[in-house]
Amino acid sequence: MTLAGTTRPPYAPGLRRIRPLLVTGGAGFIGCNLADRLAREGEHVLVLDSLRRPGVEHNLAWLKRRHPRHVTAVIADVRDPAAQDAVAEAAGVFHMAAQVAVTTSIANPADDLDVNVRGTINLLEAARRCRQAPPFIFASTNKVYGDLAGVALETTEGAVRPIDPAIRRFGIAEDWPLAFHTPYGCSKGAADQYVLDYARTFGVPAVVLRMSCTYGPRQLGTEDQGWVAHFLIRAHQRRPITIYGDGRQVRDVLYVDDAVEAHLQALRQIGRGGRVYNFGGGAGNAVSLLQVVGHIEQLLGRRIEVRFAAWRPGDQRYYVSDTRRISDALRLAAPRSWRDGLRLLAHWLQHASGAAAGPEARAAATGSAP
């Protein structure tokens, strides 16, 4: 499909008098929330998305309806020449597009490598060939640290926690050794390192954000990716939830508005770039899967059927971002609490699934295209 105000490659240079900010993967969950925030602030936004993930076309339609004068889209893959043309026109690049699921990377490692590594290099090459390279913000992942099997843990109150008091207090810092596990971890880790090296070698002003679990409105949560929204969607539908592992694994969950704010501040304060930050909800938002399920039950006022399955390759029993470096460098406010964020997402899902909601809202509320 081609949406109104949407172009297919090649992208026409000079489309805007003001150079846009490019958001690759801008029809995806974080990307569309970022594009919406930029457009609300009066920025011109160029969304580049292949629309390969079912349902994201509805996020793009939502953006176009809200910001017809500020959002333009190119339906293209980050490996395409059109992606390089878009970078050449951009005042800044937010690179969100990726193959995002560990399970998919195991099923098709070659495609995972091609999208995540070659796609990123395609954009970086375009950036370094510009007369003045645009700022480049890359959404990386905590999976670059592997399964963190070296973190000694104890179990308490339905959740694991590190025995080391410093890790328990602050989480995993940026100096933790890299250990790429699973094809997804390898591809995102390689892209992460290429972005940092293009900053060192070619002077591309770049920031790498190693993201933890982000959740919020417009997330098409599935078992493979976006577990917080997936849990709420399943509960909303009165369907069982499958947990891979024992449910005591811990993540620091981050509400999407806080993720968007960090990306904006990274762009505004990038300087020469070449910095890497771990970023998530931090120790104050460290929560186990079982604790999230329990709170959803409180929000909905009913029990949820939970089933358990075997651990999946590369699963981390514990990951919490040490957010001190990014909070200090970018002067970020404390993130929204996970209980408050779950309440907001539950309310949005209830509203989005109503008969009066548009098709794209209903798609996000059910985790699939209508």
Residues pairing with 155 in the sheet: 160
Q: Decide if pLDDT at 12 tops 80.
A: no
Range in 9-18, 65-74, 78-87, 238-247 the model is least confident about: 9-18
Q: Which two tokens stand for residue 256?
A: 């999407």
Predicted pLDDT of residue 59: 96
Predicted pLDDT of residue 348: 93
Question: Which class for 268: exposed (0-12), middle (13-18), buried (19 or more C-beta within 10 A)?
Answer: exposed
What is the Cα–Cα distance from 232 to 364, expressed in whole angstroms?
11
Q: What is the mean pLDDT of residues 91-106?
A: 95
Predicted pLDDT of residue 13: 38
pLDDT tens-digit map of 174-187: 999 999 999 999 99
Predicted pLDDT of residue 273: 72
Predicted pLDDT of residue 358: 45
Which of 184, 194, 215, 255 is catalytic? The answer is: 184
Q: Decide if pLDDT at 8 tops 70.
A: no
pTM of the model: 0.91
pLDDT tens-digit map of 107-139: 999 999 999 999 999 999 999 999 999 999 999
Predicted pLDDT of residue 225: 84
Range in 6-20, 86-100, 126-140 the model is least confident about: 6-20
pLDDT tens-digit map of 221-273: 888 889 999 999 999 999 999 999 999 999 999 999 999 999 999 999 987 67
Predicted pLDDT of residue 16: 40
pLDDT: which is higher, 157 or 203: 203
Where exactly are the structural domains of the chain? 98-366
CB 257 within 8 A of CB 218: no
Q: Decide if pLDDT at 27 tops 60.
A: yes
Q: What is the mean pLDDT of residues 323-337?
A: 97
Q: What angle do CA 116, 121, 126 make, to 5 degrees?
A: 135
pLDDT tens-digit map of 134-160: 999 999 999 999 999 999 999 988 999
What is the Cα–Cα distance from 8 to 122, expressed in whole angstroms?
18
pLDDT tens-digit map of 339-367: 999 999 999 998 876 533 344 445 555 55
- 184 in active site: yes
Predicted pLDDT of residue 1: 40
Residues pairing with 72 in the sheet: 46
State the fold for domain 98-366.
Rossmann fold (3.40.50)
Q: Decide if pLDDT at 274 tops 90.
A: no
Average pLDDT of the chain is 91
Q: Decide if pLDDT at 81 tops 80.
A: yes
pLDDT tens-digit map of 297-309: 999 999 999 999 9
Q: Decide if pLDDT at 17 tops 50.
A: no
pLDDT: which is higher, 156 or 85: 85
Q: Which two tokens stand for residue 299?
A: 């929000």
